[in-house]
A = this chain, B = another copy of it.
Amino acid sequence: MTTSGTDLNRLRELNSLSVVRALRGNPPSTVTELAARTGLSRPSTDVMAQGLVADGWATVVEPSGNSTVGRPARRYRFRADAGHVLGVDVGGHKILAIISDLDGTVVHSTRRAVTLDADPTTRLAAMDAVIANCLRGAGMVPDDIWAVTVGVTGPVDTTGRTTLFTPLPGWTSVNPAKHLGARFAAPIVVENDCKLAAAAERWQGVAQDADDIVYLLAGMRTGAGLIIDGTLRRGYGGAAGEIGALRAVRWLDAPSHLQNCPGVPDSVDADNAAAWVFAAAREGDRHARTAVRRYVRDLAVGAAALVLTLDPQIVVVGGGYSRSADILLDPLGRELERLCLRVPEIRASTLGDESVALGALRLALDEVDSRLFGTGLSAPLAPRRQ
């Protein structure tokens, strides 16, 4: 254990990164503003900022017209477009790729429908096509991408595969990271979709103010993702949050209460049955209300286990059914009230079906950040694996 001793070079590096932090996520800033944010003196801050410009991390914005009294200040802007990251959601029914810059601003996104029963080769080919289209749409080549994260269904083990379980046929033997490794030199991370959705909710969704979050995927599949102390938790084997595997927690069959609800017209296909049931329940339909009640009861058992285990600040309900949060949240709260010691606040996701891909972006950005703030920053260049 080498207890990192710090010399002057490192000090300068730390302060440079400090200026980067003060620059990022803010509008173009004057040296005085940066100095206030970093706590450094104005001359030092200016030296750092000029160094960042020289390295390509920042640009100078010359004073504009709208000025107050005094000499107009030069402004520095973080070059969020110095690098980009790619987030991919390989779902059962769709594949969605999003490219963003280093600020997380979306540059381009591409999606494509796939069938749930598509074989792995087809699905991988579709993924490749979506990624290629997204790159083309953003006017980029693979080497412009600094980090890639792929969201898949099922728990992801340390090798990046879903060997334990996944609803996608034949997918357990697929290694998406290895597959993409042929095209991308950047680091590639594969992660479970529920976990990514949880990360997205904390980043841009309804849980930005919380550090302890249970995310519930309520849709044709049921799952969970956990954020504890502000960090996405994978578990030792990547299987954290898989409470649905407990037979007493009937998450596997929970959606069938909605899918098989009596009274659904033949004209409504399987994908829309749940939506029809929620609508009917709103109208007061007896069967629909019973189906919703049973669904919520099953959902709540697993949710209660998660809540009792972690005692989170917030439970976020996402997934396809969260569009009907208006008739889901109250009964869910009542069930948790019955089952738990302390009931956390329950909120409905608003990110829609992009949450997994957004979470993938967030993880890719985290990867970039950890390299930046870990090893120090030279000129902006796409990092390479190993």
Do A6 and B2 touch across chains, with their CB atoms under 8 A apart? Answer: no
Q: Mark A342-353, 1 if CB is under 8 A from B, else 0.
A: 101000000000
Do B248 and A236 touch across chains, with their CB atoms under 8 A apart? Answer: no
Q: Which residues of B contact A246 (CB under 8 A)?
A: 304-305, 308, 339-340
Q: List 13 A-B contacts (CB under 8 A).
A: A2-B37, A5-B15, A5-B39, A164-B341, A165-B341, A236-B312, A236-B344, A239-B341, A243-B305, A246-B308, A248-B301, A249-B305, A309-B310
From B11, B37, B233, B311, give the contact of A228 (CB < 8 A): B233
Do B309 and A309 touch across chains, with their CB atoms under 8 A apart? Answer: yes
Question: Beyond A3-B18, A18-B4, is A243–B311 a contact (Cβ under 8 Å)?
Answer: no
Do A235 and B37 touch across chains, with their CB atoms under 8 A apart? Answer: no
Leading 4 A-B pairs by shortest Cβ distance? A235-B311, A5-B39, A5-B40, A236-B313
Q: Give the complex CA separation of A236 and B157 in angstroms.
A: 28
A229 interface residue (CB < 8 Å to B) = yes
Do A245 and B308 touch across chains, with their CB atoms under 8 A apart? Answer: yes
Q: Give the complex CA separation of A245 and B145 in angstroms.
A: 48
Copies in the assembly, this chain? 2
Q: Give the complex CA separation of A229 and B228 in angstroms.
A: 10
Count chain B CB atoms within 10 A of each CB in A15, A236, A239 and give the residue with the most.
A236
A21 interface residue (CB < 8 Å to B) = yes
Q: Which residues of B contact A247 (CB under 8 A)?
A: 339
Q: Give the complex CA separation of A248 and B300 in angstroms.
A: 12
Q: Which residues of B contact A253 (CB under 8 A)?
A: none
Do A229 and B236 touch across chains, with their CB atoms under 8 A apart? Answer: no
In the complex, besides A228-B229, A245-B308, 16 extra interface pairs with C-beta distance below 8 angstroms are A2-B38, A2-B39, A3-B18, A3-B21, A3-B38, A3-B39, A5-B15, A6-B11, A6-B14, A212-B235, A212-B236, A228-B228, A233-B310, A237-B342, A239-B342, A248-B248
